[in-house]
Structure 1
């Protein structure tokens, strides 16, 4: 599927991996809709790349439905969806104070990362199936998991569980949507430079980067976006999870 001229939606597109992906898609000629809860940042980035911003909480079924209608009204039926919205809590199952992980915090990670991803991809696909195919396919969905789905560290029970869920839904959703000619892929990034990572000192960032076998550095958001581009244009990439991590295998800490 060629990107130029298509409408693309990027959740979490106001910053980090999502912002880099939105920029890439715009540079490739797509009409980009950024869907983000942070309207100010999302609108600023959308204006910078010639796109539009729609504000919505990915866990809210009605809000997502309205956001998709707004996106379609602005640029027509979307053929590309990239899900980057998410949170990364770090809470132990039992804290040093002896208190258990708050169930609300666990539930929030699952709701945003996993339920939110499924909420928008299912509604996106339902709208897309009425569109005429472009050659041999109608569209592409790219989700974002994490290496934590495989190598969850201490304090990542909620995060790893949510990302494992995204890994687990990739193949069955791809099979569900195969008859509709919609592909579904997932990227599992390693340690990347994101707004959260930028909050750490340079020494901490360098130390984390050195844990990556090769290249021994943090991943760049543009490298995530490059993989999204490759997935979109290659019709045989479907139903699979790709680790984008420089061969890192995370230790317990």
Structure 2
């Protein structure tokens, strides 16, 4: 699938892996619709990228907030004539907490809801609201492809650590829905792919202490370092361009298998 002159909706697009993805696709000629909660960052990035970028302040846990961004993106597409070619659902949070703590208190349901609402519900809500504008796009190429959905899981979906029950549940769900989503969308010529990164330099990992980071590095085989955002973005680009990538989860983790505890 061609990237140039197609519009890509990227949630979490103003920082970290989402921003790296936006830059990579933009460099390849895409129009990027950046959805993010951080209005200052978003406006700054959109201004830097220029006329092929548009920012929308969005809380992905809010259906109305997503709807407003999709509406704005569709209006922008009508102006540019560059149809929606993909969604990168990159917004996500991590909020660690043992399911039962040392005081025998269960994890607050509000904490679980917060993680699930952003990582899982927000991902599905963004996808479902964007799809009506993708299924009606002009098919391209020999196979009549209309676009691609790229989701972000995590290595925690497969080997989550202590304190990651809610996070692993949200990312495991994203991994699990990849194939049925691809099957639902196959008749429209739309693919679905999920990337499951391990430790990458991002706003989330910047909050980790030095000892915790070193412990995670020790669990990696090669290279023994955090992944770089541009390495993630290059895989996103391949997922867009390679039509045979569909209904699958790609681990991007330096052969890391996280231990039960740090």
Under a length normalisation based on structure 1, what TM-score does the superposition of the two structures give?
0.96
In structure 1, distance between residues paired with 2:203 and 2:160: 20
Moved more, 145-154 or 55-64: 55-64
* Pair 1:161–1:200, CA change in 2 (3 A): closer
Match 2:236 to one of 219, 224, 228: 228
- Cα shift readout 1:134-173 (whole Å, capped 9, x = no counterpart): 2220001100000100001000000000001101110001
Match of 1:44 in 2: 44
- Whether 2:121 is the aligned partner of 1:119: answer no
Gaps of 5+ in 2: none
- Cα shift readout 1:109-141 (whole Å, capped 9, x = no counterpart): 111100110001111112211121122200011
Moved more, 184-193 or 73-82: 73-82
Secondary structure at 2:92 match in 1: coil
Secondary structure at 1:87 match in 2: coil
In structure 2, distance between residues paired with 1:150 and 1:201: 23
Match of 2:63 in 1: 61
Moved more, 235-244 or 41-50: 41-50
Secondary structure at 2:104 match in 1: coil
Alignment of 1:166-245 (within 5 A): 166-202=174-210, 204-245=212-253
Match of 1:100 in 2: 106
In structure 2, distance between residues paired with 1:171 and 1:203: 37
Match of 1:27 in 2: 27
- Cα shift readout 1:62-96 (whole Å, capped 9, x = no counterpart): 22122111012223431111111011110000112
The answer (yes or no) to whether the contact 2:216–2:258 under 8 Å persists in 1 is no
Secondary structure at 1:198 match in 2: helix
Under a length normalisation based on structure 2, what TM-score does the superposition of the two structures give?
0.93
- Whether 2:259 is the aligned partner of 1:251: answer yes
Gaps of 5+ in 1: none
Shift of 1:206: 4.1
Match 1:78 to one of 70, 77, 84: 84
Secondary structure at 1:185 match in 2: strand
In structure 1, distance between residues paired with 2:119 and 2:73: 22
